[in-house]
């Protein structure tokens, strides 16, 4: 008997294998995309908090003015409005006092793939702490 007669036909086997592997591959691919997006957004939040905090401690801005600086930075980066918390108020403390700026956004607001119900209430956070500089 020849080998052609001994082997059984395997038509469709590769299609079945592809159908099994494709969902796993696509899930893995979207996971990589979402993880990269989350890291990118978190870095934007850290930079925004640093920018707002630095402007606030040098120019003696109020928390509302620092919020505006942070919102402008995030808008320029393509993010929706973020939550900003500044404590203590740079205008009411002495120079050398640490000022902390925390910027948060719900992950569902910036996710490209995951729907809001899947992202849950997970928050992406960026923060910075700087000392208030002396005003001469």
Q: What is the pLDDT of residues 37-59, one digit of tens each?
A: 999 999 999 999 999 999 999 88
Domain assignment present for 72 = yes
Tell me how many domains the chain contains. Answer: 1
Phi-psi region of 80 (alpha: psi -120 to 50; beta: other; left: phi over 0): beta
Domain assignment present for 7 = no
Residue 5 confidence (pLDDT) = 57
Domain assignment present for 1 = no
Give the separation between CA 118 and CA 70, rounded to whole angstroms: 28
Q: Residues with Cβ < 8 Å from 48, sequence gap 6 or more? A: 70, 73, 74, 77, 82, 103, 126
Domain assignment present for 122 = yes
Domain assignment present for 83 = yes
Domain membership of residue 122 as a residue range: 13-131
- What percentage of the chain has pLDDT greater than the value 70? 87
Residue 116 confidence (pLDDT) = 64
Query: What is the rounded average pLDDT for all residues in the chain?
Result: 88
Tell if the pTM clears 0.85, that is, is over it. no
Residue 74 confidence (pLDDT) = 96
Give the separation between CA 18 and CA 122, rounded to whole angstroms: 34
Residue 6 confidence (pLDDT) = 63
E strands present in the chain? 83-87, 98-106, 123-131
């Amino acid at each position: 008997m020849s080998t052609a007669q001994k082997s059984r036909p395997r038509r469709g086997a590769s299609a079945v294998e592809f159908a099994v592997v494709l969902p796993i591959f696509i899930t893995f691919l979207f996971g990589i995309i979402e993880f990269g997006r989350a890291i990118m957004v978190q870095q934007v939040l850290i930079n925004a908090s640093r920018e707002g905090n630095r402007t606030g401690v040098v120019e003696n801005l109020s928390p509302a003015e620092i919020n505006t600086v942070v919102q402008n930075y995030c808008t320029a980066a393509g993010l929706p409005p973020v939550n900003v918390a500044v404590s203590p108020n740079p205008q009411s403390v002495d120079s050398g006092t640490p000022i902390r700026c925390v910027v948060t956004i719900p992950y569902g607001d910036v996710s490209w793939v995951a729907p809001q119900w899947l992202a849950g209430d997970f928050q992406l956070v960026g923060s910075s702490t700087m000392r208030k500089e002396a005003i001469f």
